[in-house]
């Protein structure tokens, strides 16, 4: 995953699909890097355009990632190392939540996955994540079940997943990463939008 970056956007799905297929990637790139943002693209949290007619997207910057895809990749590995030691009901919902968003190796390595219907991306855009609006209520439901139990992950993380080097080294960084994804998903669900992860 060297050199791969991700820009996470929530988008009004019909607005993107109203553009011609060949124009959708440019539309998303403009949304990710347009004039709406400050010089610091990595400032944690939401960015919203204030330009007229540009109210169809929001950009979310994850904390302590500098836009890199590596933390998403490594968070998946941390989860894989610890998941067998997590209470089964919490493990089940986090398996699904994590697999739907950033860790797509569970189905191969552990025999589990999100269970969401397979849907190939129909947009001509280089995306790491393509999550249509009808998936959002399901994923947000998993997050609402999992969030109250995050503190219970501290001990299994410390015992089986903590690392001295690399990304997502501590439980706090892992929990913050999940919380950030939870914010993205719940806001997209609230608006009836979808989520995309643009490869940069």
Residue 115: strand, helix, or coil: coil
Instruction: Return per-residue pLDDT of the chain as tens, 200 residues.
Output: 447 899 999 999 999 999 998 899 999 999 988 765 555 667 889 999 888 888 999 999 999 898 899 999 899 999 999 999 999 999 999 999 998 998 765 555 555 666 676 777 888 889 999 999 999 999 999 999 999 999 999 999 999 999 888 899 999 999 999 999 999 999 999 999 999 999 98
pLDDT for 112: 63
pLDDT for 106: 53
Tokens 């643009």 sit on residue: 198
Burial (Cβ within 10 Å: 0-12, 13-18, ≥19) of residue 112:
middle
Cα distances (angstroms) measured from residue 91 to each of 82, 102, 129, 199: 10, 16, 22, 29
Residue 166 neighbours by CB distance under 10 Å = 11
Residue 11: strand, helix, or coil: strand
Handedness of CA 132, 51, 46, 69 (dihedral sign): positive
| Token code pair at residue 29 | 């790139």
Chain centre to alpha carbon of residue 7: 10
Handedness of CA 15, 20, 23, 25 (dihedral sign): positive
| Whether 172 contacts 179, CB under 8 Å | no
Burial (Cβ within 10 Å: 0-12, 13-18, ≥19) of residue 120:
exposed
**What is the rounded radius of gyration, in angstroms, for the C-alpha atoms of the chain?**
17
């Amino acid at each position: 995953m060297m050199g791969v970056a991700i820009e996470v956007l929530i988008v009004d799905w019909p607005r993107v699909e109203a553009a011609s297929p060949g124009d959708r990637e440019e539309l998303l790139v403009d949304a990710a890097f347009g004039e709406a943002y400050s010089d610091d693209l990595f400032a944690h949290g939401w960015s919203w355009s204030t330009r007229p007619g540009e109210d169809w997207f929001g950009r979310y910057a994850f904390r302590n990632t500098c836009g890199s895809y590596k933390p998403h990749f490594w968070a998946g590995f941390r989860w894989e190392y610890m998941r067998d030691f997590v209470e089964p009901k919490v493990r089940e919902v986090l398996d699904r939540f994590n697999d739907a968003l950033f860790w797509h190796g569970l189905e191969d390595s552990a025999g589990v996955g999100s269970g969401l219907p397979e849907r190939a991306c129909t947009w001509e855009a280089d995306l790491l994540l393509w999550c249509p609006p009808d998936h959002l209520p399901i994923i947000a439901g998993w997050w609402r079940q999992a969030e109250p139990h995050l503190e219970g992950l501290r001990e299994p993380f410390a015992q089986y997943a903590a690392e001295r080097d690399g990304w997502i080294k501590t439980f706090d960084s892992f929990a913050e990463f999940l919380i950030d994804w939870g914010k993205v998903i719940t806001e997209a669900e609230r608006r009836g939008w979808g989520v995309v992860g643009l490869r940069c």
